[in-house]
Amino acid sequence: MKKNAGTEEAIKRWDRFADAYAANHTEQGDIHKEVFLNPAIFSLIDSVKNKKVLDAGCGEGYLSRMLAKSGASVTAVDYSPRMIEIAMDRTPHDLSIHYRQGNCEDLHFLEDNSFELIVSNMVIQDLADYEQAFQEMHRLLAAGGCFIFSILHPCFVTPESGWEKTHDGKKLHWNVDQYFYEGVYEQKLGDQENMLFFHRTLTSYINTINKTGFHIESVLEPKPSKEMLKKYPSFEEDLRCPDFIVFKLRNLTNF
């Protein structure tokens, strides 16, 4: 593990991985987004028509496009220049999406209280200073607005976790180790790139959310629906423990 690597090193790797990552995404995102994250996130969102929405860490932009197609006016930020290029190429001109390259830990070019909704799908575990990122989201959100973010479930996806298998590959149970380690770790995504992820305990997440001034309105640990299991039966194993957790936070300051 490279214990001193931070956001800058992590984003270099995202930039190198951007084309391969995007190749896996349709207009519904990848298969995990279709099965778990989109249903969870959209179940937490009221109408976005005419709302100002920030997609923080937009990647190749599928979620920004879904939101803009539902009538939102979207600002989409990613720190990887290549991700932003791909997202722009994939976005029809008539969709109201304004792409910017920027680090979610410091979005000084965006104005205070300027969004009614912020979504951040699978990004917070990819950056080093999540406390600073939460403060930025709080600064950018209008009073009464919501910040919805998804991450790898910190209780089950840790620096050392994975299936315990028999010799012939049968999955016995999911192992979790190094839960209390907080910091960076490497993990392969796809064939080529070792990505950097940043692990924190659930306690640290919740205490940081509270300290930032957010109110936790909902928490979801998404499971595959019956319809999704019919379409993708191999996700049956995800009824055993969750890979993801989704938080809906509200900014109640001056509300």
Ligand X SMILES: C[S@@+](CC[C@H](N)C(=O)[O-])C[C@H]1O[C@@H](n2cnc3c(N)ncnc32)[C@H](O)[C@@H]1O
Neighbours of 210 (CB within 10 A): 12
User: In terms of CB distance, is 84 or 209 closer to ligand X?
Assistant: 84
Is 46 exposed, middle or buried (CB count within 10 Å of its CB: 0-12, 13-18, 19+)? exposed
Is residue 157 near ligand X by the rule CB under 6 A? no
Structure tokens at 155: 């209780």
Is residue 238 near ligand X by the rule CB under 6 A? no
Q: How far apart are CA 153 and CA 145, in angstroms?
A: 24
Q: Which of residues 30-59 bind ligand X (CB under 6 A)?
A: 57-59
Is residue 75 near ligand X by the rule CB under 6 A? no
67 backbone dihedrals φ, ψ, rounded to 5°: -70, -40
User: In terms of CB distance, is 183 or 215 closer to ligand X?
Assistant: 183
Residue 110, strand partner residues: none
Q: Which of 7, 73, 75, 158 binds ligand X (CB under 6 A)?
A: 7
Is residue 83 near ligand X by the rule CB under 6 A? yes
Q: Which of 41, 63, 137, 196 binds ligand X (CB under 6 A)?
A: 63
User: In terms of CB distance, is 111 or 236 closer to ligand X?
Assistant: 111
How many residues bind ligand X (CB under 6 A)? The answer is 23
Residues 208, 242 contacting (CB under 8 angstroms): no
Is residue 67 near ligand X by the rule CB under 6 A? no
Q: How far apart are CA 73 and CA 64, in angstroms?
A: 9
Is residue 97 near ligand X by the rule CB under 6 A? no
Is 165 exposed, middle or buried (CB count within 10 Å of its CB: 0-12, 13-18, 19+)? exposed
User: In terms of CB distance, is 120 or 233 closer to ligand X?
Assistant: 120
Q: Which of 35, 52, 72, 105 binds ligand X (CB under 6 A)?
A: 105
User: In terms of CB distance, is 11 or 137 closer to ligand X?
Assistant: 11
Is residue 126 near ligand X by the rule CB under 6 A? yes
User: In terms of CB distance, is 32 or 215 closer to ligand X?
Assistant: 32
Residue with tokens 């989109």: 38
The side-by-side arrangement of strands in the sheet containing 97-101 is: 97-101, 73-78, 52-56, 115-121, 141-152, 244-251, 214-220
Residue nearest to ligand X (CB): 59
Applying CB under 6 A, the span of 5-13, 45-53, 163-171, 240-248 interacting with ligand X comes to 5-13
Shortest reach from residue 89's CB to ligand X, in Å: 15
Residues 120, 57 contacting (CB under 8 angstroms): yes
Is 196 exposed, middle or buried (CB count within 10 Å of its CB: 0-12, 13-18, 19+)? buried
Shortest reach from residue 222's CB to ligand X, in Å: 14
Site residues, ligand X (CB under 6 A): 7, 10-11, 14, 29, 57-59, 62-63, 77-80, 83, 103-105, 121-123, 126-127
